């Protein structure tokens, strides 16, 4: 078992952009504006109306259980224990997706923000090679996010070979950035 940390990478060319949900720290409009518009964007229910106006030509919404394929990579949407309002607790409910990615027998789980749940145990039937989880916070967000111990338990349920912690969803830095996105 190994633990990876977020690498710095160039986004000058991208084939695929995956959006798990509409929260400001996961669907960041300035970031999307900087990405190549030739990329296919796979997202959750209702999020295409935020993304498509940015110039992306191929925006695909998936419901839980639905699949799509991009350049031979199969993407299946599955659930999480979360919620999708962009400006919680106000505004419209958008969807929220985790994803299982598969190509040539290699599988990756990209988990949405999630509170503790046994939903991810379902992927253990064909264990992913890599599992990517967000570590949320302790109170007051514990009803919608998992603390490190809960993430570790969910990771073990999926029986993957490698754990990848996605960038913190609740850092002060990101929270401060919300203030500049009031018109999103
Ligand atoms: Zn979230």
pLDDT tens-digit profile of 35-76? 999 999 999 999 999 999 999 999 999 999 999 999 999 999
Distance 174 CA to ligand 1 centre (A): 12
The pLDDT value recorded for residue 135 is: 83
The pLDDT value recorded for residue 56 is: 96
Helices (H), 4-129: 29-33, 48-51
Distance 84 CA to ligand 1 centre (A): 7
Any idea where the domains of the chain sit in the sequence?
13-177
Distance 86 CA to ligand 1 centre (A): 9
Distance 46 CA to ligand 1 centre (A): 15
The pLDDT value recorded for residue 8 is: 52
Distance 87 CA to ligand 1 centre (A): 10
Distance 20 CA to ligand 1 centre (A): 8
The pLDDT value recorded for residue 3 is: 54
**Token reading at 27:** 């669907």
Distance 104 CA to ligand 1 centre (A): 30
**What are the residue ranges in the chain where pLDDT is below 50?**
1, 169-184
Q: Following CA atoms 75, 80, 82, 85 in sequence, which dihedral angle do they give, to the nearest 10 degrees?
A: 30
**What pTM did the predictor assign?**
0.82
Distance 2 CA to ligand 1 centre (A): 26
Distance 21 CA to ligand 1 centre (A): 7
Report the topology of domain 13-177.
Metallo-beta-lactamase; Chain A (3.60.15)
Place of tokens 């060319």: 13
Distance 179 CA to ligand 1 centre (A): 17
Q: Is 100 helix (H, G, I), strand (E, B) or coil?
A: strand
């Amino acid at each position: 078992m190994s633990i990876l940390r977020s690498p710095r990478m160039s986004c000058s060319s991208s084939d695929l952009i995956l959006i798990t949900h509409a929260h400001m720290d996961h669907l960041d409009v300035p970031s999307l504006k900087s990405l190549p518009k030739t990329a296919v964007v796979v997202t959750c229910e209702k999020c295409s109306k935020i993304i498509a106006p940015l110039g992306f030509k191929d925006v695909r919404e998936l419901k839980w259980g639905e699949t799509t394929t991009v350049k031979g990579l199969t993407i299946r949407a599955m659930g999480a224990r979360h919620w999708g309002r962009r400006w919680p607790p106000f505004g419209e409910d958008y969807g929220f997706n985790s994803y299982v990615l598969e190509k040539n027998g290699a599988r990756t789980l990209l988990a949405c923000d999630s509170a503790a749940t046994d939903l991810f145990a379902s992927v253990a039937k064909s264990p992913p090679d890599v599992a990517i989880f967000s570590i949320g916070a302790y109170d007051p967000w514990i009803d919608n996010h998992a603390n490190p111990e809960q993430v570790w338990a969910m990771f073990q349920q999926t029986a993957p070979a490698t754990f990848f912690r996605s960038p913190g969803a609740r850092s002060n830095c990101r929270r401060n950035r919300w203030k500049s996105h009031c018109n999103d």
